[in-house]
Amino acid sequence: MLDVAGISKRFGDLQVLSDISFTVTRGETVCVLGPSGSGKSTLLRCINWLERPDAGQIYLNGDRIGINNGGVVMSDRELSRVRTRIGMVFQHFALWPHLTVLQNLMEAPVQVQRRPAAEVREEAMALLAKVGLSDKADVFPARLSGGQKQRVGIARALAMKPDVLLFDEPTSALDPELVGEVLLVMRELAREGRTMVIVTHEMGFARDAATRILFMDRGRVVETGPPERFFVSPDTERARQFIQRYA
Ligand code: ADP
Ligand code: MG
């Protein structure tokens, strides 16, 4: 489904990602763990070309992201089309404040994917029901709690019918009592077999919802494996220290 092949990225003198490779198969929930500054956000941003990698390739179902068939960097137009196949959920929600909840869900499917508004509206209402927010369709984001905003963020990502969903610390900005309602939605998506890459510090969630852990440190994938193995008997000292500290 998603193939990340040899991605490297530097900012000035700082090598942020060094030769990152991994594949995500259909239906997998991959949780990316690692200390702050290890390059997790930059990796997600490179996958959908919000950040342009210095080297390496990203393939989604065999189609290369960022570089078109002619071998040149995609235009903004091409990029926004290809990005609708990659749903992104951000730490700070990134909802459009001037649009209602329903309009937030409908914007990309109608404007970028050019799908019929009536059909998109019906699907959007079903998604709001799925995340428990049917009654908030006509409300503006400012009126929502953080947990509700993030559930809208997830529904909005799903509205594009993406092949893969990327989450960047979706619960880190939330008050502790609001984390659970968002994790519940994410657990349900994992159970449904959505293909997801989730950067998180929620170790309990990673332990019981991930099919695989990717542990990063200093811009490299240091360790990868099923959660049962990663949390119980990690291969590396760095992973052991990380688990001791956070899990
Ligand atoms: P993480 O998400 O794991 O905390 P990031 O990917 O955000 O890590 O950042 C990795 C490193 O890259 C950090 O040292 C950060 O300061 C640096 N970095 C991230 N984005 C930029 C940028 N646009 N310009 C310069 N440095 C950046
Ligand atoms: Mg980050």
Q: What does the block give as tokens for 64?
A: 């290369």
Q: How far is the CA of 80 from the centre of ligand 2 (A)?
A: 22
Angle at 95 between CA 94 and CA 97, to 5 degrees: 120
pTM: 0.96
Q: How far is the CA of 61 from the centre of ligand 1 (A)?
A: 28
ipTM (interface predicted TM):
0.98
From edge to edge, which strands make up the β-sheet containing 55-60? 14-24, 2-11, 55-60, 63-64
Tens-digit pLDDT profile for residues 184-200: 999 999 999 999 999 99
User: What integer pLDDT is reported at residue 93 of this predicted model?
Assistant: 85
Tens-digit pLDDT profile for residues 92-143: 989 999 999 999 999 999 999 999 999 999 999 999 999 999 999 999 999 9
User: What integer pLDDT is reported at residue 46 of this predicted model?
Assistant: 97
- Say yes or no to pLDDT of 17 above 90: yes
Side chain identity, residue 102: L
Q: What does the block give as tokens for 244?
A: 């001791």
The percentage of the chain sitting over the pLDDT mark of 70, rounded to a whole number, equals 100
SS3 of 55-110: the string is: EEEEEECCEECCECCCCCECCHHHHHHHHCCEEEECCCCCCCCCCCHHHHHHHHHH
Q: How far is the CA of 217 from the centre of ligand 1 (A)?
A: 12
* Ligand 1 atom closest to 38 (CA): 3
* Ligand 1 atom closest to 219 (CA): 10
Residue 81: pLDDT band by 50, 70, 90 thresholds?
confident
